[in-house]
Amino acid sequence: MFKNMILISAAVVGEFERGKLKFFLVKNGEGSDWELPKLSVRKTESSVRAVIRMMGEQAGMRVRILDEAARFTTSQQVNGKAVTQKVFYYAVIHRIDSGESIGFYESAWFDYSKAYKKLSLKREKESLSSTNRILKDWWKRRKIRRKKAAAESEV
């Protein structure tokens, strides 16, 4: 916590599997709802670094952050005091698995429509929608770059 402020980083992780986009959701306990993975940012780290650390340590993934998908500010009561909570959602592409997912009660990959239905918070749904657009745009640009590189190598 930074002087009456809690900084939270969240990862909206997507991967393309056979050209189809899937999203990573987690449950943090028995009976809990599906949600996007998130954690409190340590005092000495950036919100971006926190997402990379979380996905490596808890999800066993190596990821690449593409862009900020959304940010929200809310107010929470902690020990009777009003505390500002800032949440940064990052559009993340899953690169490779580097180990076992051990930091979440349950985790799974879902296509966009199923992931959207499973999320209960409006801000998480908005972040998922934003990331869906960011990742699809990234995928198109990547395909164009690869075609261009292949054409140039033939010359």
Position 150 scores a pLDDT of: 82
**Residue 130, Cβ neighbours under 10 Å: how many?**
17
Q: 91: Cβ–Cβ under 8 A, 6 or more apart, which residues?
A: 12, 14, 65, 66, 67, 68, 69, 130, 131, 134, 135
pTM summary value: 0.88
Q: Alpha-carbon distance 135 to 93, whole Å?
A: 8
What pLDDT does residue 2 have?
54
Q: Give dist(CA 120, CA 134) in Å, integer.
A: 21
**What pLDDT shows up at residue 77?**
83
The list of the chain residues with pLDDT below 50 reads 1
Please state the domain count of the chain.
1
Structural domain span for residue 58: 5-154
